[in-house]
Structure 1
Amino acid sequence: MASPNAVRRRRRGHDPESVLSIAVGVFNERGYDGTSMEDLARALGVTKSAIYYHVPGKEQLLARALDRALDGLLELVADERAAPGPAVDRLERVVRRSVRILVDRLPYVTLLLRVRGNSATEQAALERRREFDRFISRLVTEAAAEGGIRADVDPALVTRLLFGAVTSIAEWYQPARGASADDLADALLKITFTGLRTRAA
């Protein structure tokens, strides 16, 4: 059992960022609904009142965590909406950058992918995620209309399969085992776009 002095040292070492990081780990391990403030306090090595010093409650931690995942994706959307060039090239960039964001923010994206809309916070996150999904769908449709990707495959199906492959990385990727975000993106783009791109593109 940790001594009172050790607990006090840990408490002083926590800031909003470390509280969020540890909380996300617990949410991913136990599920958000299955995590209590007592669970978070135990993982942080502090009292519940010490957590409230940093954050009003569990739902605010969830909101911050989901924003961490979504902000990166929606920044990507804003960049690519303004970007010039063929839609198929922009689509490839979106896939590559999505993989990088997933790897860089893996615990946060993992939590986002498990959200089911059980609270106002989760519903708001899902609506923001749908904005990303709608952008991808339009980009795939545009790429098909331009002749950059095959027109004989339903764009909605392409969108689901392509980004289903991206999001599946969160289920099995382990950063310590070697492959970088660029390695993953290169492999995914080779496998998918070899079949998607037309000869003309």
Structure 2
Amino acid sequence: MSDAVELGQRPGRGRPPRYSRDELIAKVVTVFNERGYEATSMEDLARATGLNKSSFYHHFTGKEELLGLGVGRALDALTAVLAEPESLSDRPAQRLEHVLRRTAEVLLSELPYVTLLLRVRGNTTVERDALHRRRDLDTRVAAMVRAAADAGEIRADIDPRLATRLLFGMVNSITEWYRPDPSRPSPAPDIASAVVTLTLHGLSTQPAP
């Protein structure tokens, strides 16, 4: 697909809008998040974009492919965090801190796509594949938590998998309450720093007061 595309003209209307591929996927993801993936029909997507429904099928096999493109963007961004140099070197606790901070930053910058990912339930092949990739990410981060505990840099009396669930439960909850306000400076850096401060304080090897 070219950078700017016309996906057809709806009957009785003028010239159809032109979207880049990314712009079109962003609009589709917005509809999925607003209506729910299962409740969204191709007619809903055509209505929301002003495009001809049949034209969607010329470029996409259906809404499951569109779902895959949306959640794939979130998963690719989250997976890339674990490949960053700061995630692979230095002390285990510092690697863990970097992953937590960057995961929060990715969530905030890719909010609609991560929101969609977190609502996947595994009812289709695309959803099951997405859940498999999420579990793989959890496993890799749990190994980082275990390494930091083994090094004596964080407390070792909490199961690493449980700690990982709790850590990312906090991060993922941001999707439930954070709403960007274009008229104000982004609080994303403050939110990411708060996540790191709260989680690592809770995992401190120092006894609680």
1:124 pairs with one of 118, 123, 129: 129
- Gaps of at least 5 residues in structure 2 are 1-11
One-letter code aligned to 1:192: T
Check conservation: 1:80, 1:94, Cα contact below 8 A.
no
2:46 pairs with one of 33, 41, 47: 41
Structure 1 or 2: larger helix share?
1
Check conservation: 1:145, 1:151, Cα contact below 8 A.
yes
Give the alignment of 1:8-47 within 5 angstroms.
Answer: 8-10=15-17, 13-47=18-52
Check conservation: 1:80, 1:90, Cα contact below 8 A.
no
Q: In the TM superposition, what is the alpha-carbon distance from 1:196 to its structure 2 partner?
A: 1.2
Which residue of structure 1 lines up, in the alignment, with residue 168 of structure 2? 163
TM-score by length of 1: 0.89
Check conservation: 2:142, 2:164, Cα contact below 8 A.
yes
- Gaps of at least 5 residues in structure 1 are none
2:194 pairs with one of 177, 180, 187: 187
Give the SS at the match of 2:90. Answer: coil
The percentage of aligned residue pairs carrying the same residue is 49
1:63 paired with 2:72, answer: no
Give the SS at the match of 1:117. Answer: coil
Let me know the Cα RMSD of the aligned residues: 1.9
Check conservation: 2:16, 2:51, Cα contact below 8 A.
no
Which residue of structure 2 lines up, in the alignment, with residue 76 of structure 1? 81
1:99 paired with 2:100, answer: no
| Runs of 4 or more consecutive aligned structure 1 residues displaced over 3 Å after TM superposition | none
- Please say which of residues 103-112 and 16-25 is displaced more in the overlay: 16-25
1:4 paired with 2:10, answer: no
Q: In the TM superposition, what is the alpha-carbon distance from 1:179 to its structure 2 partner?
A: 4.6
Q: Take 1:127 and 1:135, find their aligned partners in 2: how far apart are those partners?
A: 13
1:113 pairs with one of 110, 118, 122: 118
Q: In the TM superposition, what is the alpha-carbon distance from 1:194 to its structure 2 partner?
A: 1.7
Q: Take 2:53 and 2:104, find their aligned partners in 1: how far apart are those partners?
A: 36
Q: Take 1:71 and 1:86, find their aligned partners in 2: how far apart are those partners?
A: 25
Q: Take 1:124 and 1:103, find their aligned partners in 2: how far apart are those partners?
A: 23
- Please say which of residues 73-82 and 30-39 is displaced more in the overlay: 73-82
Determine which structure has greater relative contact order: mean sequence separation of CA pairs < 8 Å that are 6+ residues apart, divided by chain length: 1
